[in-house]
Amino acid sequence: MNESSAQIERPLEPKKRAIIVGASAGIGAALLRVLVEDGYHAAAIARRQEALQELCTEINTRAARSQTGAGRAYPYPHDVSNSGEVPGLFQQIVHDLGGLDLIIYNAGVMPPVALNEYSFEKDASMVQVNLLGGIAWLNQAAERFERTGQGHIVGISSVAGDRGRIISPVYNSSKAGFTTYLEALRNRLTRHGVNVTTIKPGQVETAMLAHVKKRLWVITPEAAAADMLKAIKSKKQTVYVPRRWGPFMLIIRHIPSFIFRRLSI
C-alpha cells in the first residue's frame, strides 16, 4: 500500500485534515510545509508526480524527527484540467484522511502573453486551471461542508483580479472570476457554519514570476505561506498578502477607468 492510498491512523488526539490543490512547488509547497508543521494530515495534489512525491517524503522525514506533534503529507497526483476525475478523487481523499477540515485551492498558471498577443490556447488554459479547476474542487468541498455544518474553504486568488489590466487580460479575468466565485460561496455557506477565505497575494518569487519584468514588493513563498496560515487561523474573509497590498489596491480599484486605461500596468 503506497503513501497516497494508505488511510491515516486514528490517533488518540485527532489530527486536523486538509487538502491542498497545487502543492508541488512555490506557494503550495510552502503551505504544505507549514500545515504539516501545524499538525495537519494534508493531502497534496499536483500534476508533477515525481516532484510531489519528493516533497512529501522530505516533509514527512522532517516531521518524523519533530517533537512538536507535526502531521503528515500524502501525495495524490492529479491534473486539475481533468475535472471529471475530481468527484471520485475527492471522495477517496476524504475517506483516506478520515474526514476533512480545510481545503485550499492554489493551482494556477500564467503563461507569458505579449501585449499584441491573443492566444486562445493560452487563455483557455488559464481559465481551465485558475477558475474551472477551482470550481470543480471547491464545489465538492462546499457540498460536504454544507451538509456537515463545518469546514473551511480557502482560495488563492490574486491582486491581478482587482482590475482589468493590459497585461494578460485573461489571467486577470480568471482571478476576478475566482474571487467572485469565492465571495458567492461565502455568502451561501456562512449561514451553514462554513468559513470561506479569499487570499490575494501580490508578487511572490515563484516560477510564475519568471517572465514578469515589472516587480513590486516581491516576497518569498515561505513568507507568503506564513501570512496565509495566520489568515486561515483567524478565519479572515478576504486578505491581501502581504498586507500592504490592501490599501494600495484600494487606490488602484478607485482610479477612474479613463485614467486607468492610459497606465501601462
d(CA 257, CA 93): 45
Which triple of cell numbers denotes residue 153? 474553504
**CB of 47 within 8 A of CB of 55?**
no
The predicted structure's pLDDT at residue 7:
52
Give the separation between CA 110 and CA 125, rounded to whole angstroms.
9
| Sequence letter at residue 159 | V
Tell me which H or E stretch contains 11.
Answer: none
Give me the residues paired with residue 162 across strands.
Answer: none
CA 46 to chain centre: 11
Q: pLDDT tens for residues 63-95?
A: 888 767 789 999 999 999 999 999 999 999 999
Residue 183: name the closest of 198, 172, 193 by CA.
Answer: 198
- At 216-258, the pLDDT tens digits run 899 999 999 999 999 999 999 999 999 999 999 999 999 999 9
pLDDT for residue 4: 47
Coil vs helix vs strand at 4: coil
* Domains of the chain, first to last: 16-260 (3.40.50.720)
Query: Residue 263's pLDDT is what?
Result: 86
Pinpoint the alpha helices (H) of the chain.
26-37, 49-65, 86-97, 120-126, 133-148, 169-189, 221-233, 245-253, 257-260
- To which residue does cell 516587480 refer? 215
- Residue 264 pLDDT more than 70? yes
Please name the residues in contact with 28: beta carbons below 8 A apart, sequence gap of 6 or more. Answer: 20, 21, 22, 44, 46, 104, 106, 107
- How much is the pLDDT for 1? 33
Q: Is the pLDDT of residue 210 over 90?
A: no
